[in-house]
Amino acid sequence: DAGVTQSPTHLIKTRGQQVTLRCSPKSGHDTVSWYQQALGQGPQFIFQYYEEEERQRGNFPDRFSGHQFPNYSSELNVNALLLGDSALYLCASSSRLGNTEAFFGQGTRLTVV
Amino acid sequence: DAKTTQPNSMESNEEEPVHLPCNHSTISGTDYIHWYRQLPSQGPEYVIHGLTSNVNNRMASLAIAEDRKSSTLILHRATLRDAAVYYCILRGWGSSNTGKLIFGQGTTLQVKP
C-alpha cells in the first residue's frame, strides 16, 4: 500500500500564476481533505471532497478550488498566486465509514516569488 | 469548532515517560479526542484517539479526564524519534461530521539523549 501520494514535492511559481497540486488517497479511502501549513504554524483546513463534491470548506478565498475524480484522487488549484500562498500543502485521506484516522501525504512545498 | 489548549513546548529525556497535556473545556458530547504528531519535514501522523475511556495502542496511551475537559497523551519511553510537534484535536462525529481536523499550534516535544 503506497499510502497517500502527492505531486509534485516542490514547486516554484511567480505571483499571478496558477498552480495545480495532485493527491492520490490511500487505498480504500473515499475522502480527501486539503490543508495549508505556513512555516511554524499548524495545518489549516482548506476543503474536503467526497463523492466528487466539495463537502466542507475552511476560511479560504475562491482562488482556492478543487476537484475529486471517480477514482477518489483529487486536485487543488490556486489561481492568481500571492506571495502569502507560499506554504506546505498537505493532502489527507480518510474513510467516511467510522471515526477513523486520517492519513497525510508528505506535502507539496509551494514557493511563490 | 471546539478549541484545545496545549503548552507550546516540552522537554524529555530519552527512555523516560512523557505526559503531554491538553485542555478542551468546551468539548461536546460527540467530540472525539484525536492526537496527531508531525515529525520534521513530514506530514502529520495519527497517534491515537478516544471518546471517554482511556485508550492504548502500540504508539502511546491516552488518558481522558472523567469530565472530558482535559486529556493526556502518554509516551511510555521517549526516543529521539519521538521529537515532533504533537497536536491535540477535537473531531466531531455525527451527521454534520466530515472529518475535518482543526489544528492548533501544538506542543513541540524535544527529547534529550
CB-CB under 8 Å, A42 with B104? yes
How far apart are alpha carbons A107 and A23 in whole angstroms? Answer: 9
**pLDDT tens by residue, A85-96:** 999 999 999 987
Rounded to an integer, what distance in angstroms lies between the CA atom of residue A71 and that of residue B64?
38
| pLDDT over threshold 60, residue A102 | yes
pLDDT value for B97: 52
Largest CA distance in chain B: 47
What's the grid cell of residue B23? 485542555
Judging by DSSP bridges, how do beta strands A74-78 and A19-24 pair with one another? antiparallel
Distances (CA, A) of A29 to A25, A79, A92, A95, A103: 6, 28, 10, 5, 9
Angle value at C-alpha B77, between B75 and B79, nearest 5 degrees: 100
pLDDT of residue A97: 74
pLDDT exceeds 90 at position A12? yes
Task: Give A16→chain B minimum CA distance, Å.
Answer: 27
CB contact, 8 Å: A50 with chain B? yes
In order, the DSSP letters of A31-89 are EEEEEEE-TTS--EEEEEEETTEEEEE-S--TTEEEEE-TTS-EEEEE-S--GGG-EEE
Which stretch of DSSP H or E encloses residue A91? strand A87-94
Are B31 and B40 in contact, with CB atoms under 8 Å apart? Answer: no
* Angle, CA of A111, A41 and A101, to the nearest 5°: 100
- Residues in chain B closer than 8 A to A42 (CB atoms): 85, 87, 103-106
CA distance A77 to chain B (A): 19
Q: Tens digits of per-residue pLDDT, A16-74? A: 999 999 999 999 899 999 999 999 999 999 999 999 999 989 999 999 999 999 999 99
pLDDT average per 10 residues of sequence, chain B (113 residues): 88 97 91 93 93 92 96 97 95 63 92 96
Instruction: Tell me the sheet residues that pair with B111.
Output: B12
pLDDT at A33: 95
At residue B95, the pLDDT reads 46
CB contact under 8 A, A50 and B98: yes
Please, what sign has the CA dihedral across residues A109, A46, A94, A18? negative
Q: Closest by alpha carbon to B68, among B7, B30, B19, B25?
A: B25
pLDDT on residue A99: 64
**CA–CA distances in Å: residue A83 to residues A8, A12, A80:** 19, 11, 10
Contacts of B102 in chain A (CB under 8 A): 45
pLDDT computed for residue B3 by the predictor: 86
pLDDT at B91: 83
In the prediction, which pLDDT does B28 show?
86
